[in-house]
Every structure is written in C-alpha cells, then in structure tokens.
C-alpha cells in the first residue's frame, strides 16, 4: 500500500506546510505555494470586449474564464467566472494592469479579493481603550436582549439585576463580547421609541463597563450609539448598516468606534426581492463600508454581517453560509448571527427553544467557511463548538 491520497489546501500557509513536510528547498516556496491554491472569483456585469480580453489572458496562463455565449461575439455585458491558481491570478493581474477598458480597476479588485482570502490575524482597536484580536480564533458574541418581544429571549432580562446576572453567566461560559440590544428587530415587531431604548440599554452598559468584558450595543440609532459609547461601550452593531439613521455615519467617524454593518432589506427595502442574492448583498454592504471609508473612518474598524434572516428565505440563508467566501473577499471580519432563527425551525420543524443542535451545526459550517465572530444565545455550547472547529481550520 503506497498511501497515495488527495489533499485539501486552503491557503498559502497550508501549502508551505505541505512543502515543508516533503523537505522542499525553502527557496521554492514563493513559486510553488501559489500554484497549490485554487480560487474561483465571479466578476459581475463586465463589458463583453473586456470580458473576452480577460478570458483570453486567463486561458493563456493555464486558467479558465467562463463568459456568456453571446459575449463571445462581443454583444452586451456578461458575468465572468474565473478559475485558477494564485499563480495564474498573479500573472493575469500583472497583464490586466497594463490594459484599457477598465481592466486596471478589475485587476486591483482581483488583487484585493485574493489578498483578503488568505486570512491571518490582527488586533482591532476598540472604543474606550480596549482592543481585541481578530482571526486567531472564532470569537463568541453573547446576545443579551433587554426587550419584552425578542423572538428567543424576550422578557427574560428586563430587570437590571437579571440582565447583569445573564451577562455574568455568559462571561463565565466564555463569551468574548456581550451584545446588548434594547429594540427587537424580529419580523413584524414594533420599533420602540428612542427614550425607551436608552432606558433599557444604558443601565446595562454602565453595569458591565467595569466587569472587563467587551461591550457591543445593537442599535441603528445614532443617539443611542453615542450615549452607549459615552458610558463605556466598545462596539456598535448597526442592523441598518448606516442607512436607518443619517446621523450614524458622522457619529462613528467622530468617535472612531468599531462598527458591525449588517445587511438588512427587511426594514430598509420592504423585503425587496433579489435577482442575484450574493452579489447584491456584497454590493450593498460594500456601499455602506465605502461611505465610512470616504469619511476618513479607519477601515480596520469595520466588521460586516450578511444578515441571515431579515426577510431571506431558508434557501437564501443557507446559500449565504455556503458562500461566505464572497464576504471574506471584502476584507472585513465577518459576523454571523443565526442562533435559533426561524429558518432553522423550518428545516427541523422545531420550536425556538429546541433549535440548539441546528444552530450549532450551522455555526460549525459558518466557521469552516470563514466566519470570525458568532453571535449566539447559547454561549457554553457555542464556545465548545468553536474551540473544536478552530482546531481544524485555523
């Protein structure tokens, strides 16, 4: 028995590890490692002339590029599916940088996507003097809803002592971040007024500030975000991705506080239908992130959440998890919140209190696909799953 076998190589670090195992000359690593990693990248709505150039240049380097049949005769626009190794992409990018027809810009985007997919860890500076390491392991964000009507834990933590006790329990179980919400975002819920949200959130922020835990506040309102930051919060989790309150962008730029930009058509676009789910979510998240960057905001403080749930169907939610690579390619840490959500209940035919196993299964899949932060109700179980899966993927 020879022991011949297939291997899976996710990135250049893993490729170098295999090269080391077989005692390759270290001088060969920069040449061989990029040939071991294969990527597929989809370009949207490319001029057919440019698409044909991309196709021919990729073919010339041993890769592949699929375009619409009509585009072969240079008609209209087409999407392009690129298929190749990192080495082939590098050669393609070098060539496209010298071409007209907007190909220089496409080369820059390809270069950024490929770099963003190669992973690694870094420190993120938070508000109020804290920092956190992103990428070294999966971070667990414990959900603390101070609401009477949240779909899973509504009404359980309305009293301050109960809320602080729940936060202490999640900290003991291994939460890295506590995410405090004072306004339910479940479908068909009524938005509480701003004063009520402040009255719910601020006492908990104040109570947790000296406990050593990193505090995130789940709000789409600039006034609530400002008050939370003034009283010790470290992160703002905006389910409106800056689009539900025009004052949020200048506030975040002024405070320099890290923000999670969540995709949300349910509240913003009355559940507008999707033609190309992943591409449209990517574009809408990028739009919010770019508006922050254009204001001078540090891009290293932006996190993104593709918004599982929020008007999306079962199959759409599953597709988001399957295609998390698309969001990793934007270069921002990816937050995933799927804990106990209704689509899990639809799949398993289970009530909200019975959705733990389904949540954990999809959490494991999300981490395998590149999620950096998991927003969860069940901290103890989620922490254990993350620790196990991290041993495989990080």
Provide the token pair at 124.
């993120």
Residue 188, both tokens: 């068909």
**Rounded Cα gap, residues 229 and 224, in angstroms:** 9
189: left (phi over 0), alpha (psi -120 to 50) or beta: beta
Q: CA 264, CA 251: separation in Å to the nearest integer? A: 20
Residues 6+ apart with CB under 8 A from 3: none
Backbone phi, psi, residue 228, to 5°: -65, -45
Q: Which among 304, 316, 309, 373 is positioned nearest to 341, based on CA atoms?
A: 309
Would you give the DSSP letter of residue 146?
-
**Would you call 303 helix, strand, or coil by DSSP?**
strand
User: What is the rounded distance in angstroms from the CA atom of residue 48 to the CA atom of residue 25?
Assistant: 43
Given the structure tokens 């254990």, which residue do they identify?
384
Listed in sequence order, the residues at least 6 apart from 26 whose beta carbon sits closer than 8 Å to its beta carbon are: none
d(CA 133, CA 140): 12
**Nearest-angstrom CA–CA distance, 151 and 154:** 6
Verify whether residue 341 is a known catalytic residue: yes
Return all residues near 182 (Cβ < 8 A) that are at least 6 apart: 146, 147, 192, 196, 197, 198, 199, 200, 201, 218, 219, 224
Element (H, E) at 291: helix 277-294
In the DSSP assignment, the letter for residue 7 is -
Please tell me the distance from the alpha carbon of residue 198 to that of residue 66, in angstroms, as a whole number: 52
- Measured CA angle at 239 (ends 173, 310), to 5 deg: 95
Catalytically annotated residue among 341, 355, 369, 383:
341
Q: Which of 55, 166, 375, 383 is catalytic?
A: 375
Q: Which two tokens stand for residue 44?
A: 């949207």
To the query of whether residue 369 is one of the catalytic residues in this protein, the response is: no
Q: Which residue has the tokens 């190794």?
A: 85
Rounded distance between C-alpha atoms, residue 43 and residue 109, angstroms: 10
Catalytic residues: 341, 375
């Amino acid at each position: 028995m020879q022991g011949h076998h297939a291997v899976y190589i996710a990135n250049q670090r893993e490729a170098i590890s295999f090269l080391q195992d077989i005692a390759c000359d270290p001088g060969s690593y920069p040449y061989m490692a990029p040939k071991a990693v294969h990527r597929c990248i989809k370009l949207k709505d490319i001029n057919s002339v440019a698409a044909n150039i991309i196709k021919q240049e990729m073919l010339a380097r041993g890769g592949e590029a699929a375009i619409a049949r009509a585009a072969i005769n240079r008609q209209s626009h087409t999407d392009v599916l690129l298929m190749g190794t990192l080495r082939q992409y590098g050669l393609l990018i070098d060539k496209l940088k010298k071409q007209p027809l907007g190909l220089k810009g496409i080369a820059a985007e390809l270069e950024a996507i490929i770099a963003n997919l190669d992973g690694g860890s870094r420190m993120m500076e938070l508000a109020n003097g804290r920092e956190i390491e992103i990428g070294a392991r999966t971070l667990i964000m414990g959900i603390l809803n101070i609401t009477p009507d949240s779909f899973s834990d509504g009404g359980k933590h309305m009293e301050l002592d109960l809320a602080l006790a729940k936060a202490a329990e999640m900290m003991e179980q291994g939460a890295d971040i506590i995410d405090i919400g004072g306004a339910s975002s479940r479908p068909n819920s009524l938005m509480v007024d701003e004063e009520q949200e402040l009255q719910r959130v601020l006492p908990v922020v104040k109570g947790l500030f000296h406990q050593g835990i990193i505090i995130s506040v789940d709000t789409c309102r600039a006034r609530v975000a400002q008050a939370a930051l003034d009283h010790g919060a470290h992160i703002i989790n905006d389910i409106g991705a800056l689009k539900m309150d025009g004052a949020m962008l200048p506030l975040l730029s002024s405070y320099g506080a890290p923000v999670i930009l969540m995709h949300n058509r349910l509240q913003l676009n009355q559940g507008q239908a999707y033609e190309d789910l992943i591409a449209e979510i990517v574009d809408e998240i990028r739009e919010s992130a770019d508006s922050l960057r254009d204001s001078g905001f540090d891009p290293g403080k932006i996190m993104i959440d593709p918004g599982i749930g929020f008007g999306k169907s079962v199959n759409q939610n599953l597709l988001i998890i399957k295609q998390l690579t698309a969001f990793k390619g934007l270069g921002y840490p990816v937050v995933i919140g799927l804990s106990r959500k209704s689509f899990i209940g639809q799949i398993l035919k289970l009530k909200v209190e019975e959705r733990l196993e389904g949540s954990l299964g999809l959490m494991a899949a999300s981490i395998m696909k590149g999620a950096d932060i998991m927003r969860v109700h069940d901290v103890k179980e989620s922490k254990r799953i993350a620790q196990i899966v991290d041993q495989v993927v990080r």
